[in-house]
Each structure stands twice: as structure tokens, then as C-alpha cells.
A = this chain, B = another copy of it.
Amino acid sequence: MERDSGSMEYRLLEQVNCPRDLKKLSERELFELCAEIRAFLLAAVSKTGGHLASNLGAVELTVAIHRVFDLPEDKLVFDVGHQCYTHKLLTGRREQFCSLRSFEGISGFPKPWESPYDAFVAGHASTSVSAAFGIASALTLQGSPHYALALIGDGAMTGGMAYEALNNAGRSRTRLVVILNHNDMSISKNVGAFARYLSSIRSRPFYLGFKRRVKRFLTRLPLLGKPLLHWLEHSKSLLKSILYPSTFFEDMGFEYLGPVDGHDLPELIRTLALARDMAAPVVVQVETVKGKGYPFAEENPGAYHAIGNFDVRNGGDDVTMADCYSNQIGQELVRLGEEEPRICAVTAAMKYGTGLHTFAAAHRDRFFDVGIAEEHAVTFAGGLSAQGLLPVFCVYSTFLQRGFDQAIHDLAIDGKRAVLCVDRAGIVGEDGETHQGVFDAAFLSEIPGVTVYSPEGYEEARLCLRHAVLEDRGLSCVRYPRGGERRSHSLPPSTDFQFIDRGGRGLLISYGRSFSGCWQAAEALERESGERVSLLKLTRITPLDPRLPELVSRFEQVLFVEEGIRAGGIGEHLAALLLEQGFRGSFRIAAIEGRFVPQGRLEELLEQLRLDPASIQERMHHMLKGGAAHA
């Protein structure tokens, strides 16, 4: 981190290079440390970009966790991971903060290969309780006295996995501490009934305070206290429900502590210590304020609270820019919705990220935000479709992996009409491995009867959406990349394929965003070495047009470029068709081969994967010269 003038600014923070250092500070110094962390985060994230508000809200909580627990022996599992910056600062990564989210820099998410303090991968929602319970079970088996902690926001609590894990972990004899970060800003009608329930717990502090006091009183009472408490806890009587009301978490077999003010450091430390001493599965409900300490928020609380454009799913820091595929799709869907009253839009807590806010405003009764719950979203769409409506579920490619089974079982199996708008398809950039949308072309094209479009450019994206919604039968998918269009050509839009006959023995085939890279490569080849190659642009990538093998067979050197995983991808589908039909030329697939794609800017990553225009040019050139494309 390039330091601002005056090292006094981070006097304490600079002394904390690992959690042990933090334990040496006095309680008063911890307050100061929190202030320094906030200042540091504001300065750092304003330069690198990243999730600010969610991290500012978790400063005291993270400090308290590191004060009470012993990381890395105790294991802290983040959910999603949008609140891990303070944790990274306190675990020896302060100096690297300038590289946050950049190529080969530190990740915006917890990464076990980055630090032993990051106990588990995070990125997708609602995984933390499962992972932490796995770790806790292992610790129990190993006879370890250490703890597994899950830090989960109320948004991620709408995901079914979290419930599956709570259901499984309740009454287990493990040292599992689930810290539920209940965030004021996440409370919206979209989050669903459970968030309301959490709020209702908060709104009756007397009620739970009373219970805590009963428990404390009985615990301290000699002789009779513990048997009485045991009776209270295990009785099913009406008296219990009065003296000792139970929360959902207690019904699920957890101890429950809370709600605690997430910015009251001494109270947090006391409560976490209590949780630790229980040595049993426990839920600690912590109330935090997103963006806490952010001057803008403090000076303009009204404006801050009224801020509308954020998604529960991603914590509100990735507000979509105006000029992007998401908004183009969203606006086209508004128009389609005007023409066709059966069209409904579904989102899994990503109204803004997927550009559906305009549809939500225009066709309010036909807009459904189902919470962070892609599985439910797909089957819910199936229900709408069963009743004759035309559901369009807009979802990020990486999160649609969650709905794979449902797309097969609840949509495709009986040919229901439904459209999946697969946003952030392809490389997404700075969010890294967990978020790259590189699997969808492969897993969607497996599904019997599916149609998949991968348009390039807004006009084509709109055309494909219109076609999918109004004309296709069965399950239809339209996939498009993050960000805006960057076409290097001006071909008219199509829903099938376009062959650009430029002569020559070579053919470059691609779809979606990477077609422009092929176009550039073809132009550079002609300009620089006088080699003419033709181009084939696929828009509908499944099913492949039956005319393609014959067309491709006219060429001797064919390079298929795919910004997605090779195994099961479109290049392999075409290769198999060509081989079966006796293609005798030279064929190569340039795709992502058996690896995960790290964080970085799109251009950097394409270059590293050899999918950038220069690499495509080089590979085609090599093929035309009769060498191997892999050289």
C-alpha cells in the first residue's frame, strides 16, 4: 500500500501483522485500531475498487473475532466473502492491498492458497455453514479443541444450502459458531420471510434479554440451577414457551445468542467469548450497519438509507453501469413485456445486476425477486410456465451452476417454455476463479432439447431475446458477457450463424464476444502477412445448424475460438460432428483447458489464456504455415 503522508495514520494497524499482535493491544487501543482500519479501507478501496460498504460494516466484528478466537487454528469461513477485507488486513496482507483484485494480486475474496488464515473458498452464497460444519466435524473427530466459525449475512440466509447445513448441524456435538451478520441495509421485501423473522427477533430485545437473564440467573444458582435450566430447555410445556421462548435457531438445535450490536466492540467480545465457552453449535446474531463509519453515510444518513440501487446478492457494490448488456436485455424485456402480457421476469436477488430494475418498475406484478435462491428460481419459473406464462430468469452464469439440476428436471424434461438470460457469461475479470462464467456453454448444451444463443452486440442480444421469448419452444438460453459491447465489425444481427467469406484456406470460428477477437485476428493476418482467412460467427450455439459441417469442410485450416471451458464446449460438439462427417482438414480448438481462470482484467486474462486477438492471429498463422497450432 502506497502510504498517505504521515504514518501516524495507521500507528496501531502497522503493528498488527498477525492476529497475535492484535491480542496484545488494550481494549482502548482496539477502538483506535478500528478507526484506523476504516480509514485504511476507505483510502485503499477508493484506489483499487472493491466492496466497501459491506467491509466497513464488519470492522468491529472481525476485530472481535480475532480477539476472541485463535486463527488459524480456529477456522473462520466467510460466506460470499464481501466482508473479508479487515480480516485480510489483520492477517499480514496490509502491504499487498494496493494489488487488491488485480492480476496476480490479492483476491477480494478469501482464498486458502493466499493465506492459511483463509480457511475456505468463498464467492458463491450460502456455503459457509456447510463448510464450517464439515471443518467442525473434522475437528471433533481429530479431538481438537479448536473452533469452526461461519460468518454469514442475512442475504445468504435466503439460500437453501444454509438451511440444509443448520438442519444437519443442530444438536451435533461440534464446536461450530455461526455468526449471523444481520445487516440493516439488506432488509428489503425481496429478502423474504426469514429476514423479517430476524428483524422480529431484534424488535423484541426484552423478550430475549429476559431469556438470557433467566439463563444467567439459573446458571449461577447453586445446586438447583442447572437441573432447572435443563428442565426448561427440554420441556415442552406452555410454561417454557413463556419463560423461555425459543428462536428458529434453537428449534434447529443451536444455542442462540443475540441480537448484539455489531459496532459495540466490548459487547461483541463478551458475546463471542460466551459462544466460545459453550463448546456446542451456537448462532450469534449480530446487528451491523452497512457502510458504518463512511463519512458520506454519516453526514447524509437520509441519502444513504434511501440509496436504492443495490442487490442483496452482491452487497450493493457492483451497481451496473448504464451501458451494458444487462441493461440492454432488461430494457428489451420491458418492451417485450408490453407486447406480450404473459412474460414474467425472475431474479435471484440481482434486480440491478441483471438489469431487471426497469422491468420491475414497468411491470411490477410480473416481476419476481425470489432471494438468493437459484434452485428455487428455476423451479419457480417452471411453475409459472406450467400455468402458461413465459418466465425469463436473468442470472449470472456462475450462479446458474446452482440451477443445473432444476433446469434439467423442472424445465427441460417436459419441454416447458422458459428463457434463461445468462449474464456475465465468459470471463468476468476481477472477481476471479469463483465467478468466471466459463462453464455455462458446456453444461447448458448438454440438456436435451435446449436452445442456446450467444449473441455479440446489443442489437443481436435483443434479437435473440425476442426470438427466445416469442418464438422458441422449450428451454431457451441467451448468454452474454459482463459489461458493454465492443464489436470490431458491423455485421447485421442474426439468430443462427454468419459466414464471412474472405477467401483463403483458413477459417476462424467463434461465438459471442470472442468473435470480435477473431475478426481482428483475420484483419491483422491479411494486413501483416497477406493471409486471407474466412470467418464463421455462430449465434445459436446449441443446437448447431446442420449446414455447418459442410460449410466448414470447404476449409483446410480451421481454428475454433471459445471463451469457455474446452471439455464439453461448443468446439468439441462441432469437432465430433466434423469427424463423423469425414472432415479431412486441420482443426484446432482454442479454449480454456482444464484450469480455473484467476482474477485480472479481461485483456490480461485473455492474453494469459492465449485467447486474445494476437494469440488467435499467431495460432492461425502457424496453422496456415502447416505447423501445429499448439506450438
Chain A residues proximal to chain B, CB less than 8 Å: 75, 77, 111-113, 119-121, 123-124, 126-127, 130-139, 141-142, 148, 158-171, 192-194, 196-197, 200, 203-204, 206-207, 236, 238, 241-242, 245, 248, 251-253, 344, 365-366, 368, 370-371, 373, 375-376, 379-389, 391, 399, 401-402, 404-406, 408-410, 412-414, 433-434, 439, 442-443, 445-446, 448-449, 542-543, 565-568, 571-573, 575-576, 578-580, 582-584, 586-589, 594-596
Partner of A387, one of B142, B381, B384: B142
B contact residues around A445 at 8 Å (CB): 567-568
B contact residues around A376 at 8 Å (CB): 130, 161, 164-165, 168
Given contacts A134-B380, A159-B160, A194-B252, contact A587 B580 (CB under 8 A): yes
B contact residues around A148 at 8 Å (CB): 383
Q: Which residue of B lies closest to A630 (CB)?
A: B580
Q: Which residue of B lies closest to A388 (CB)?
A: B138
Whether the pair B409, A123 counts as a contact (CB closer than 8 A) is: yes
A110 to chain B, nearest CB (A): 11
Whether the pair A200, B236 counts as a contact (CB closer than 8 A) is: yes
B contact residues around A406 at 8 Å (CB): 127, 161
Whether the pair B167, A158 counts as a contact (CB closer than 8 A) is: yes
Whether the pair A580, B572 counts as a contact (CB closer than 8 A) is: no
- In whole angstroms, how far apart are the Cα atoms of A584 and B578 in the complex? 11
A-B contact pairs, 29 of them (CB 8 A): A113-B414, A119-B386, A120-B410, A121-B413, A121-B414, A126-B160, A133-B383, A134-B383, A134-B384, A135-B387, A161-B373, A164-B373, A165-B376, A167-B193, A168-B371, A169-B193, A170-B192, A193-B253, A203-B236, A204-B238, A206-B238, A375-B402, A409-B434, A413-B596, A445-B568, A567-B573, A575-B580, A576-B576, A579-B579
- In whole angstroms, how far apart are the Cα atoms of A124 and B410 in the complex? 9
- In whole angstroms, how far apart are the Cα atoms of A136 and B368 in the complex? 13
**Besides A141-B389, A165-B376, 9 new A-B residue pairs in contact (Cβ under 8 A), listed by A number:** A127-B379, A131-B379, A161-B375, A164-B376, A238-B242, A439-B446, A572-B572, A575-B580, A579-B587
Partner of A371, one of B167, B381, B443, B566: B167
B contact residues around A583 at 8 Å (CB): 579
Whether the pair B167, A373 counts as a contact (CB closer than 8 A) is: yes
A214 to chain B, nearest CB (A): 13
Query: Most chain-B Cβ atoms within 10 A of its Cβ — which of A120, A148, A253?
Result: A120
Given contacts A241-B245, A379-B131, contact A164 B170 (CB under 8 A): no
Whether the pair B131, A380 counts as a contact (CB closer than 8 A) is: yes
B contact residues around A443 at 8 Å (CB): 404, 443, 446, 568
B contact residues around A366 at 8 Å (CB): 141
A419 to chain B, nearest CB (A): 14
Q: Which residue of B lies closest to A193 (CB)?
A: B170
9 smallest CB-CB distances across A and B, nearest first, come from A134-B383, A160-B160, A568-B568, A170-B193, A138-B387, A401-B405, A164-B376, A164-B373, A130-B379
Partner of A380, one of B130, B384, B385, B580: B130
B contact residues around A567 at 8 Å (CB): 445-446, 542, 568, 573
- In whole angstroms, how far apart are the Cα atoms of A391 and B391 in the complex? 39
- In whole angstroms, how far apart are the Cα atoms of A120 and B412 in the complex? 12
